[in-house]
Structure 1
Amino acid sequence: MDGQIDNADWPLFGWVDDVRPALAQASDAGRPVVLATLYRVEGSAPRGPGAQMVFDGSAASGYFSGDCIEGDVASHAARVLTDGEPRHLHYGAGSPWIDIRLRCGGALHILLERILPDDEALHELLRHAAERRSCQWHSDGTMRRVSAQDGALLTLTDQPFYLARRYDPPRRLIVSGGDPGALAAARLGALAQFETYLVRPDGPSSPPPFPVAGYLREAPTQALESLGVDRWTAYLGATHEDHHDLGGCLAALRGSAGYVGMIGAKSRAAGRLAALEAAGATREELDALHLSPGITGLGKSPWEVATGVVAEIMQALNPAKERA
């Protein structure tokens, strides 16, 4: 690693928010990487405490400032990768590097630590993600461990330095349907870094013409049973066939999904609620259901409707709204 980032002119690496896939890829290839964690923010900043980047050779994932400091962080990461010594970086107000300015006027404090491919804590972190369980990453920059306990996104002690960073399971979006609106929602979900599954009962044998985590041709109830549902999962019923969408919504509600919605006209809401109640849905479950979901006023084209729905799902699954 030479401190240069590939494609720095077009920093698409900043689209990455969950660095675990980058850590897993490097570990599988037998490569050490540098994990950078933003642990303190003073004043205004584009990212909050807990934001992370991974430096793997000349490749980077994640971002802190939107191009103000990433190149310099990469230079320090190259030295950490070589000597294994953790480093604490301070940018902005009070920083020793007066030539590196933050446009927002705040200050950022970042820990760099080298992670070897056989690091036991790394493999525990990835195991928890695969099993869709929250965990805490504990590190002083040299010694690391992972615990199954819950907590705030980031907790910190200064003397001696020690941080604990919470990781939740990857956000997941399950869309059932095959019309332009359903496909737009699945496409936007995948672009927005959701682990996205498209469910299309008896759909075409060929997969959708855009990347998704999985394509299932079975009924939504069967798909949800095989995939599993948890509070980091969103389900959107968009087949427009109640015998599919109602069953999928009921299964998602009973699995305590973080978001459950069903596309359709408002005039159909009363009948759908009555059908769900007759199927055994509780009042609490019905109150959690989003009928005619999405942010209003964006328009009625497939992309406009999908944008409003995905934005509403983001709000519902936003980890910052969870445990503090």
Structure 2
Amino acid sequence: MNDALFHEIADADWPVFGWADDVRPALAAAIGAGRAVALATLYKVEGSAPRGPGAQMLFDGPHASGYFSGDCIEGDVAGHAAHVLADGQPRRLHYGMGSPWIDIRLRCGGALHVLVERVAPDSPAAAALIAHARERRVCRWISDGVTQRVEAGEGPLLALGDTPFAIARRYDPPRRLIVSGGDPGALALARLGSDAQFETILVRPGGPDAPPPFPVARYLRAEPADALAQLGIDRWTAYVGATHEDHHDLGGVLQALRRSAGYVAMIGARSRAEGRLAALRAAGASEAELARLHLTPGIRGLGKAPWEVATGILVEVMQALNPPEEHA
């Protein structure tokens, strides 16, 4: 294997590969095309570091997804990944304090420990991981670098076994943002959600046949309540009603609240809040459900332009949907 295959990573002037935080889409693409990949998992951190245990990178030919430090180690990890792909032998890498590679320094002053393992295109574990994501089930990738398996179930983001060495990395369903509406504010929120790697679905009742002029996972022209019933809702889903028409958004809100969506909001003036709450109570919403509803969503003080309002709402969505480990 020629390490030069990874020069795009080691020498990247614009390392946008680090924007991708979930390696599963890149894994699914590679597996679907019959290509083996190298999966790198940050399994231990000492001291300060930009990413915590559980962060991952995926190397597929000359392409990468994810990042660990933003320093120089990504290129070195890529070189080791090339060898892992060539000989199938996993590597356990140590950077920073106590590392054998004194020429590779971390500006944060800590230490990072990374497992790099080969994932074959016919890997049952990889197929199971992708299936769990598609079906929106929590699972864990359990590996010693050679033997890999996937088990359903919860757990910490990253659990480490020392004797024998093994990692168990939890995968949650992909974070999903459903926005109903078609005005500039709704479109700005959907665009930001898509750029921020959310599985973004735009619902515009009776909207135009043509899809929006930016990428979304799905575009639906149905009523929000019908769309949410079709899509299915879970705690990794956020719904924002932004049609400004209660006969559209209230049904979507009720669906989202009753199915325990992780974040539920309606955009509108404060003066409409009491009327909306009364309508939801009349439709059967409980006080506990209504307590979870954001009727004036977003971060105050950012401004009222579409991008400013959308930014404030997306911040709240991220806070609500990120796993507890990300808040620590």
Q: TM-score range by the shorter chain?
A: over 0.9
Which amino acid in structure 2 is aligned with residue 31 of structure 1? R
Deviation at 1:159, TM superposition (A): 1.4
In the alignment, the residues of structure 1 paired with residue 134 and residue 146 of structure 2 have an alpha-carbon distance, to the nearest angstrom, of 25
- What is the correspondence of 1:1-324 to structure 2 with a 5 Å cutoff? 2-3=2-3, 4-6=6-8, 8-320=12-324
Any unmatched runs of 5+ in structure 2? none
Provide the aligned C-alpha RMSD in A: 1.3
Deviation at 1:307, TM superposition (A): 0.1
Counting aligned pairs with the same residue, the percent is: 73
The one-character-per-residue Cα deviations of 1:200-257 (angstroms, maximum 9, x if unpaired) are 0001111000000010011001110111100000000000000111110000001110
In the alignment, the residues of structure 2 paired with residue 22 and residue 114 of structure 1 have an alpha-carbon distance, to the nearest angstrom, of 14
In the alignment, the residues of structure 1 paired with residue 8 and residue 187 of structure 2 have an alpha-carbon distance, to the nearest angstrom, of 32
| Contact 1:5/1:60 (<8 A) preserved | no
Deviation at 1:31, TM superposition (A): 0.5
> How has the CA–CA distance of structure 1 residues 323 and 92 changed in structure 2, closer, same or farther, with 3 Å as cutoff?
closer
In the alignment, the residues of structure 1 paired with residue 271 and residue 156 of structure 2 have an alpha-carbon distance, to the nearest angstrom, of 42
TM-score norm. by structure 2 comes to 0.97
Deviation at 1:321, TM superposition (A): 5.1
| Contact 2:90/2:116 (<8 A) preserved | yes
| Contact 2:71/2:106 (<8 A) preserved | no
In the alignment, the residues of structure 2 paired with residue 150 and residue 229 of structure 1 have an alpha-carbon distance, to the nearest angstrom, of 18
Residue 103 of structure 2 aligns to a residue whose secondary structure is: coil
Which amino acid in structure 2 is aligned with residue 245 of structure 1? D
> How has the CA–CA distance of structure 1 residues 43 and 142 changed in structure 2, closer, same or farther, with 3 Å as cutoff?
same
The one-character-per-residue Cα deviations of 1:133-183 (angstroms, maximum 9, x if unpaired) are 000110000001111121010100111101100000000000000000000
Aligned residues: 324
In the alignment, the residues of structure 1 paired with residue 32 and residue 166 of structure 2 have an alpha-carbon distance, to the nearest angstrom, of 28
| Contact 2:139/2:151 (<8 A) preserved | yes
Residue 108 of structure 2 aligns to a residue whose secondary structure is: coil
Which amino acid in structure 1 is aligned with residue 202 of structure 2? L
> How has the CA–CA distance of structure 1 residues 323 and 102 changed in structure 2, closer, same or farther, with 3 Å as cutoff?
closer
> How has the CA–CA distance of structure 1 residues 219 and 73 changed in structure 2, closer, same or farther, with 3 Å as cutoff?
same
> How has the CA–CA distance of structure 1 residues 178 and 323 changed in structure 2, closer, same or farther, with 3 Å as cutoff?
closer
In the alignment, the residues of structure 2 paired with residue 227 and residue 119 of structure 1 have an alpha-carbon distance, to the nearest angstrom, of 29
Any unmatched runs of 5+ in structure 1? none
Deviation at 1:118, TM superposition (A): 0.4
In the alignment, the residues of structure 2 paired with residue 107 and residue 236 of structure 1 have an alpha-carbon distance, to the nearest angstrom, of 40
In the alignment, the residues of structure 2 paired with residue 77 and residue 24 of structure 1 have an alpha-carbon distance, to the nearest angstrom, of 18
In the alignment, the residues of structure 1 paired with residue 188 and residue 82 of structure 2 have an alpha-carbon distance, to the nearest angstrom, of 40
| Contact 2:240/2:264 (<8 A) preserved | yes
